[in-house]
Structure 1
């Protein structure tokens, strides 16, 4: 397989404020072993060449190049193309762009040759990065969370965002990550929830001063309760008022059990 590099003139500004493509024309393209040439469109390029572009993730997808199996974004080699250009000393401040394109094309071709001939790696547009192709070829096991750790994530997964552990003081700009439970397990839990019918309801009066007796009720129920002192960390998830000024005071049995953990 042949490899090449294409350097778009305005790689960092190909999308206008109205989200339309304003520049995917004008670029230097080089196939390994050949001098770089000016191209006016990606359609001028041969389709039997793997092309490494200088477009980042967002620009690559906005330009629609993800639909073409022979184009790769700038981080296909893990390090970005700009980083490699800088490390090799062929940046724009010292080297003409067409020279940079031809130099990087040779590098990409050598990497591709080693990957395919020595390791049997077949580049796939599905993976996006060459290291993912290596992992697939070598049968590297994907990261998996042990089943016994899932209960720990149950309450975390119900919160919209969780602070990532970092070694600096907490600030408003601290990174966050959204934790989601396994979709299949969540679907089974929801589908397995008992849903009462429209008839057969019975009004029950409180039989004790506290709410411990409700734990013994095995059928679905609605309970009228006054919610106070909900922990701030969980308040935004509970959102019992749903944005209403008047917070509702009727809870289902499931909601009541959750409130008992985080409020009074």
Structure 2
């Protein structure tokens, strides 16, 4: 049956992006902004000078359920999806208190675990991300590879019922605050070549895992790191998506990262406009 003009208009209306926040979103934004204003940019400046992390701000937001607001409710999150996490990230940035790890732990790793983790993996890691009590960094970038998985050289080789991880990552965010890192590697095949990507969760205190901080030309408490993996042993239950199953999950994490990058940029832009307007007055 042909679609009538009124039907088409109704479909277009449903498909349109509603830019008017709901009462729930407005309340979420107001509450997050209020918490962050209580800390303020001076708090972040003080931490940067003392070489400390913004743990108190993270914990305060997590205690209200905001750091895992996108995670399904059955795994101790808010169950409100990426739109709400983007709103949280924007308000944090607009208050001058940006938390880089919100882009990584709940957005990237949380999204990957929600879609591709086993029930045991979700119980082990996703619940803590949902509650904001577990922080997991994400490591894909290498000296010669960005998000192009074909250029990744970090290798994961099976040895019996375990795997051995070797390689290097660079410009990895927030490792100083993380409990673990979700590492993108490629399977080392029998002929020595590298195959498809796999994702492995590596605890930060695992033997063979070391890191060096990268000096950065900005003032803030967040850090960037170079990571080294030297014969790091990985149990199979730490592979998200299974052996060779990392390609799809990677993009299910990188897309939320882009959403969060945009929302934080919007928040920073609002802060800049507010300061410029205040100065002009």
TM-score bracket relative to the smaller structure: under 0.3
TM-score (norm 2): 0.20
Higher helix share: 2
Greater Rg, structure 1 or structure 2? 1
TM-score (norm 1): 0.21
